[in-house]
Amino acid sequence: MTGNTKPHNPWREICAASIGNALEFYDLLIYGYFAIVIGQLFFPAHDATTSLLLSVGTFGISFVTRPLGSIILGSYADRAGRKASLTVSIGLMMVGTAMIAFAPTYEQIGILSPLMIIVARMLQGFSTGGEFGAATAFMVEHADAKRRGFFASWQMSTQGLATVLAAGVSALLSLLLTADQLSAWGWRIAFAVGLLIGPVGLYIRRNIDETADFKKLGEKQREKSPLREVFGRDRANMLLGAGVVAAATAFNYVHKLYMPTYAVKQLHIPATSSFIGAVVTGVMLMIAAPVVGHLSDRFGRIRVMLWALIAVGVTTYPLFVLLNRYPTFQTLLMVQALVGLLIAVSLAPLPALLADIFPTSTRGTGLALSYNFSVTLFGGFAPLIVTWLIDATQNKLAPSFYVMATAVLSITAVTALARRVRAGKIVGMTHGTPRATKA
């Protein structure tokens, strides 16, 4: 019996859980980076701003299907297992990526072209909706109780890796190809690179073990309707968890995803330079996230989150002022390096913190809903919101006001969550360490 059990390898488990998150974020970034090109090819309009808004809006449509993916795939993870849900989600993600990579343009097939892009983004959003919950549950349930913050932080570190890869591929294509070549076929190469990641992730996930925590539940202890329990018993934790995520995801999406477009359109910095700035952000996140995850295990995730959110709220306006006053490549690199560190500090403690506030029986569903509800509202439509704000107010600093507003919301949510922890109202805390989540 024991001869068939694979030896415990934490790095294999980290890779298995985080590779889907990396693929998801790579696809998301590539779409954002090539939003102008995609707008011209698939959403032609009378003026460039309208075309860009339609393209960015389609980017946001994928976030509408995230909650549905959270409900279906998150519940599936709580009923059938983390491994089963992870295998399904990465398969669906690959299909959506392939649809975009090989989609005919509007000039070739007319209205069917943008519809194909919309369906592909909705499919990607659906798969991503269940990815975070199942992957994070898989990570923390394989980890030692005292190292959950470190293990789960790799979810965010791989976002940094995806940023480096996406921005690096985009910068390389911009350097090697002319504008016409990039618009005609070069952008498709970037999506094709994402397709190469998918099969590797699918193979790894099909050859991993289910978590011991999930196995211990047994058929009788598993919730027949995890969704009902999350909206009933765990409703307050789910809403507060979503509130905690708001500022980190808004800051992340505005600075890491929208910044290359902002740098080109508003600051008139060359596209290649803006992509290099994104690489710097990704490198900082990739390196710093596991360090911050370790610190959250030692000093407490709520405490680390609170200080991180204060830093995000205080620094975002001065950073935009600096960029607009000195719109140079050197300033962009300096700002993006600091942004990468702030993103790491605000994102790294999140996965383990959210895992701590839900019990094993509803962890996949609760994690998926609280995270994706917030990402949909405050992150997914952030590029569209800030693009509209800049156009409506004619103020290039408008994105900072949006981030500051979400920071106030998240600080309030963290404070409320800390009170619930002190009052012993967090049912999922039986699976964590009081030190790791203390306020």
**Residue 410 has what pLDDT?**
97
Please count the residues of the chain: 439
Residue partners of 81: CB distance under 8 A and separation at least 6: 210, 214
Q: Percent helix, strand and coil across the chain, each rounded to 5?
A: 85, 0, 15
**Residue 6 has what pLDDT?**
53
Q: Which two tokens mark 367?
A: 């994690």
**Residue 220 has what pLDDT?**
62
Tell me how many degrees the CA angle 69-75-79 measures, rounded to the nearest 5. 145
Give 227 or 410, the one with higher predicted confidence.
410
- Round to whole Å and give the CA distance between 217 and 314: 44
The model's confidence at residue 49, banded by pLDDT at 50, 70 and 90, is low
pLDDT in tens, 84-128: 999 999 999 899 999 999 999 888 988 888 889 889 989 988 998
Residue partners of 6: CB distance under 8 A and separation at least 6: 209
- Round to whole Å and give the CA distance between 41 and 127: 25
- Round to whole Å and give the CA distance between 288 and 308: 13
**Residue 56 has what pLDDT?**
67
Residue partners of 369: CB distance under 8 A and separation at least 6: 67, 70, 71, 74, 133, 230, 238, 242
**Residue 219 has what pLDDT?**
65
pLDDT above 70 covers a percentage of the chain that reads 91
Q: Shortest CA distance to 85 belongs to which of 25, 17, 24, 23?
A: 17
Q: DSSP letters along 182-206, please?
A: IIIIIHHHHHHHHHHHHHHHHHHHH
Residue partners of 149: CB distance under 8 A and separation at least 6: 293, 294, 295, 296, 297, 301, 348, 349, 352, 436
Domains, the chain? 10-207+223-437 (1.20.1250.20)
**Residue 151 has what pLDDT?**
92
pTM for this model (two decimals): 0.84
- Residue 50: strand, helix, or coil: helix
Give 434 or 421, the one with higher predicted confidence.
421
DSSP state of 328: S
- Residue 311's Cβ-count burial label (10 Å; 0-12, 13-18, 19+) is middle
**Distances, alpha carbon 178 to alpha carbons 83, 133, 185, 271, 401, in Å:** 43, 41, 11, 12, 36
pLDDT in tens, 287-324: 999 999 999 999 989 999 999 999 999 999 999 999 99
Q: What is the dihedral of CA 73, 228, 409, 424, to 10 degrees?
A: -110
Q: DSSP letters along 409-433, please?
A: HHHHHHHHHHHHHHTT--GGGGGS-
- Round to whole Å and give the CA distance between 137 and 257: 26
Q: Shortest CA distance to 262 belongs to which of 274, 253, 250, 273?
A: 274
The model's confidence at residue 431, banded by pLDDT at 50, 70 and 90, is very low
Helical H runs in 65-177? 66-79, 82-101, 106-109, 112-142, 148-176
pLDDT in tens, 199-215: 888 888 888 888 888 88
